[in-house]
């Protein structure tokens, strides 16, 4: 039961691995269609557009080798640390309380030792005489009864928790540069979580008991699982052998109707006799596989949208290999986002389409629509952004990893001007980074269960998806890091040139539905709210409960959680929250009702996917989503 509870908490964590006045819709005019790209572009890279001059900020970055860039990064961090200090009175107070509490813990432990109560007494007898086991330690890492019935383990856990509280208190007491303080706090939290006695066999009474009861088999099994994880290159969070993409995850029926170097385009089979005339395009994050939106039929946002009578197309990103190591942000916008919009138009004959972007997919989608707007093409009838940043002012814990020196180091090791040439950012590195944002749930939980106790992690589709990592081309990643997280230039009209166009996201006239999750640690909801000040069309902002993934994947039938709405759009997130109304259950019906107003007339559903010029290539989910990092 403890293992199942921990697995559920890990699922919740993994569900944890970015204006102006609206224009009248009647005045929209579409620019002349861009020439169709021949089908022969699929196996080869499409010819890139002429690249604009580098932004001055990027061109001004010092040219250094990776060692110098690394040294600059470390030097910058050390310099920031040198300005931190703990006020003497705060240190003295922490010391006094630590001594008092540690003495109290020791005295309480000694009072319950069998040697004190009688040489013939057992600890269980002593506890029974004292009225039963001690109170819970208040931490699920120590929830097993072994931590309560073993006095040594009880004291070890209690002292660990006291040490942890004291260290975090000292970290919170630091005075100095805000980012340096936050980095120290993050580092201390990582160290504290790693030092838990539950993570070490010699200090974990539950793991020791299991080893004794199994005559050492649990340890042997743990070693076998450790070797297996070392060979596969990542920590097992679920039984990955249970799942197969296209067999029991990502099973909604459809077909691949287009592909090129960057993506495959899936058209899903209709589930209704009639569909809205205007098609729907999903742009999922390129740092994950798209099927988080199609895990199982009962929690599939894709299937839900199809069932609402929409003709749905989804971008399934290619998992980049070394042949794509030099691809840029402009490449992804021109040859993926904009190309997908063009193909959907070509297949359906629609001038405009409804669009949805999730996480970085929302940032990519908005950039693509901004480029088209600069070309005089208002391609979107509506825009839905799910937990996405357009304004990177408040990026939460991820801001700790970004400064000028760290970005330069990435540019010198992965970017276009790296001495050894551009390289891939490996998916495993991204996955590890996101896991260590919630280390107790997504790392140490599995170290203890898999290796110390020899338990096999239970099968969970979401954790299978979470471990299915994807790579990113270095130049594309470095551009994203510098111009969004570091310099926050997407929000400033004309600050960036993308695909040869001066980018102004306020030129996107389409109405927008902006969703954020209240406990999201990757895209904090107040940061997501800032997008309401950037896009040019009429906006609706909805706040859901839970985290980055669980808040989004919340089907109505589950009847879980709640969401908040506010018909007004005040200037700050706090003002919006103060006037918001709470609603029980899923936000999906609210979105479906909003989206239906932009779907157009109902027409007979297509009998076959694609068109004469874009014939089906293979069944969904296709090949690209099955490529491993």
Helix (H, G, I), strand (E, B) or coil at 87: coil
Tell me, letter by letter, the H, E, C secondary structure of 238-306: CCHHHCCECCCECCCCEEEEEECCCEEEEEECCCCCEEECCCEEEECCCCCCHHHHCCCHHHCHHHHHH
Question: Which has the closest alpha carbon to 524: 552, 548, 491?
Answer: 548
Question: Which has the closest alpha carbon to 344: 279, 286, 261?
Answer: 279
Q: For 75-142, where are the E strands, in sequence order? A: none
Q: What letter would DSSP give residue 393?
A: S
CA distance 459 to 302: 23
Question: What would you measure as the largest C-alpha separation in the chain, in angstroms?
Answer: 93
Is the N-terminal amide bond of 337 cis, ω within 30° of 0?
no
Question: Which has the closest alpha carbon to 140: 235, 8, 239?
Answer: 8
Question: Which has the closest alpha carbon to 363: 190, 224, 481, 225?
Answer: 481
The backbone torsions φ and ψ at residue 58, rounded to the nearest 5 degrees and listed phi first, read -75, -40
CA distance 583 to 542: 11
CA distance 108 to 413: 55
Could you tell me the CA-to-CA distances from 181 to 77, 81, 188, 392, 407 in Å, in that order? 11, 8, 11, 20, 20
- The active-site residue out of 286, 359, 478, 499 is 359
List of residues 6+ apart from 282 with CB closer than 8 A: 290, 293, 302, 305, 312, 313, 314, 315, 355, 356, 357, 358, 361
CA distance 435 to 452: 20
Contact 147, 161 (CB under 8 A): no
Q: Is 499 a catalytic residue?
A: no
Q: What letter would DSSP give residue 458?
A: P
List of residues 6+ apart from 525 with CB closer than 8 A: 516, 517, 518, 543, 573
Encoded tokens for 562: 């709640």
Contact 526, 394 (CB under 8 A): yes
CA distance 429 to 401: 13
Helix (H, G, I), strand (E, B) or coil at 80: helix
CA distance 625 to 300: 16
Encoded tokens for 307: 């069932």
Active centre residues (catalytic): 359
């Amino acid at each position: 039961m403890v293992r199942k509870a921990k697995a559920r908490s890990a699922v919740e964590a993994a569900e944890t691995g970015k204006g102006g006045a609206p224009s009248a819709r009647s005045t929209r005019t579409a620019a002349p269609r861009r020439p169709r790209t021949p089908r022969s572009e699929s196996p080869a890279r499409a010819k890139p557009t002429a690249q604009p001059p580098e932004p001055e900020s990027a061109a001004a970055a010092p040219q250094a080798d990776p060692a110098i860039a690394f040294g600059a990064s470390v030097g910058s961090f050390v310099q920031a640390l040198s300005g931190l200090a703990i006020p003497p009175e705060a240190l003295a107070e922490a010391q006094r309380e630590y001594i008092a509490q540690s003495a109290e813990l020791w005295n309480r432990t000694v009072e319950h030792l069998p040697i004190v109560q009688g040489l013939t007494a057992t600890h269980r007898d002593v506890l029974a005489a004292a009225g039963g086991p001690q109170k819970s330690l208040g931490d699920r890492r120590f929830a097993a009864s072994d931590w309560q019935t073993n006095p040594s383990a009880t004291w070890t856990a209690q002292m660990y928790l006291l040490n942890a509280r004291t260290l975090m208190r000292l970290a919170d007491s630091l005075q100095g540069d805000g980012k340096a303080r936050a980095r120290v706090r993050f580092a201390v939290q990582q160290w504290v979580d790693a030092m838990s006695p539950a993570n070490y066999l010699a200090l974990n009474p539950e793991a020791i008991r299991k080893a004794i009861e199994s005559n050492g088999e649990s340890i042997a099994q743990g070693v076998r699982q450790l070797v297996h994880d070392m060979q596969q290159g990542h920590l097992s969070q679920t039984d990955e052998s249970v799942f197969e993409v296209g067999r029991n995850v990502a099973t909604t029926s459809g077909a691949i109707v287009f592909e090129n170097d960057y993506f495959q385009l899936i058209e899903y089979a209709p589930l209704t006799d009639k569909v809205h005339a205007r098609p729907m395009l999903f742009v999922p994050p390129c740092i994950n596989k798209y099927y988080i939106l199609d895990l199982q039929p009962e929690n599939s946002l894709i299937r839900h949208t199809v069932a609402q009578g929409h003709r749905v197309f989804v971008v399934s990103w290619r998992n980049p290999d070394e042949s794509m190591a030099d691809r840029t942000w402009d490449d992804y916008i021109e040859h993926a986002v904009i190309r997908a919009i063009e193909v959907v138009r070509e297949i359906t004959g629609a001038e405009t389409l409804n669009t949805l972007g999730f996480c970085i997919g929302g940032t990519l989608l908005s950039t693509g629509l901004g480029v088209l707007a600069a070309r005089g093409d208002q391609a979107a009838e509506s825009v839905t952004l799910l937990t996405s940043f357009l304004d990177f002012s408040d990026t939460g814990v991820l801001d700790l990893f970004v400064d000028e020196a760290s970005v330069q180091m990435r540019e010198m090791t992965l970017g276009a001007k790296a001495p050894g040439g551009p390289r891939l950012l490996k998916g495993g590195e991204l996955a590890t980074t996101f896991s260590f944002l919630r280390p107790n749930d997504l790392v140490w939980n599995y170290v203890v269960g898999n290796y110390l106790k020899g338990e096999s992690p239970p099968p969970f589709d979401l954790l299978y998806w979470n471990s299915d990592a994807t790579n990113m081309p270095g130049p594309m990643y470095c551009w994203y890091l510098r111009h969004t997280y570091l310099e926050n230039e997407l929000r400033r009209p004309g600050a960036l040139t993308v695909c040869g166009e001066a980018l102004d996201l306020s030129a996107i006239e389409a109405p927008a539905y902006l969703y954020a999750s209240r406990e999201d640690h990757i895209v904090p909801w107040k940061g997501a709210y800032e997008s309401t000040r950037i896009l040019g069309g009429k906006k609706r902002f909805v706040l859901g409960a839970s985290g980055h993934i669980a808040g989004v994947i919340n089907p109505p039938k589950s009847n879980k959680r709640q969401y908040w709405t506010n018909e007004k759009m005040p200037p700050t997130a706090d003002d919006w929250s103060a006037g918001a109304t709470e609603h029980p259950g899923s936000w999906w019906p609210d979105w479906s009702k909003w989206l239906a107003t932009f779907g157009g007339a109902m027409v007979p559903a297509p009998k076959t996917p694609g068109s004469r010029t874009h014939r089906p290539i293979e069944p969904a989910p296709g090949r690209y989503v099955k490529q491993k990092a």
